[in-house]
Amino acid sequence: MTEQDKAEIHLIKECLKGNKSACKKIYDLNSPWLYSLCLRYTNNKDQAKDFLQDSFIVIFNKLDTFKFEGSFKGWMRRVTVNTILSALRKNKISFDNSSSGLTEIELPDLELLQQIDFEELKRIINSLSPGRKMVFTAYVIDGFSHKEIAEMLGISEGTSKSQLFDAKKEIQKVLEKEWMIAKK
């Protein structure tokens, strides 16, 4: 166990005892990367700040459920994503189930992918419909399984898979269109 792990465990235990400075330290250490996580699910900075605040309320209220098994950051990440997806689900995000027969799609040309910068890729992902964006982000970026996504969003695994397929297809079309324009 590293010194950093020991310090983290100490902070958690102090926070559980009601030590407000330990809670503030946990917040200060983790709010920047959790805010970035929140921004992946919304294009709105104010909404991302609300998600962050709501997530920390849940994190501190459920801190006693952390079992000191596995990563604390991983636990906070899961709590935050669940909080975000729960809030988005309450806003009645619709999921388009229009995909007919899922088949694997080919990824765009590697040369094309190498020419896309991070900001451009973020713009393309942010242009997806809310349902597709949530599933794509949860699956591709945050590494959740279709089963986990389905449970968090209250949808079927098939709908999660369909949303991911459609998101990939849509991203591929945008990339190919922009590639064709750039080649002219």
Residues 13 and 76 in one domain: yes
pLDDT band for position 120 (cuts 50, 70, 90): confident
Q: Which amino acid is at 117?
A: D
Q: Is residue 102 part of a domain?
A: no
Judgement on whether residues 85 and 119 belong to the same structural domain of the protein: no
Domain contains 100: no
Model pLDDT for residues 159-178, shown as the tens digit of each residue: 999 999 999 988 888 887 77
**Angle separating helix axes 45-61 and 20-41, nearest 10 degrees:** 140
What letter does residue 18 receive in the DSSP assignment? T
The radius of gyration of the chain from alpha carbons, rounded to an integer in Å, stands at: 19
The verdict on 115 and 173 lying in the same domain is yes
Residue finishing a domain among 90, 120, 153: 90
**Residue 16's domain spans which residues?**
3-90
- Per the structure, the count of domains in the chain is 2
The pTM for the full model equals 0.71
* Residues 94, 95, 97, 98, Cα dihedral to 10°: 70
Shared-domain flag, residues 114 and 86: no
User: Quick one: 149 and 81 in the same domain?
Assistant: no
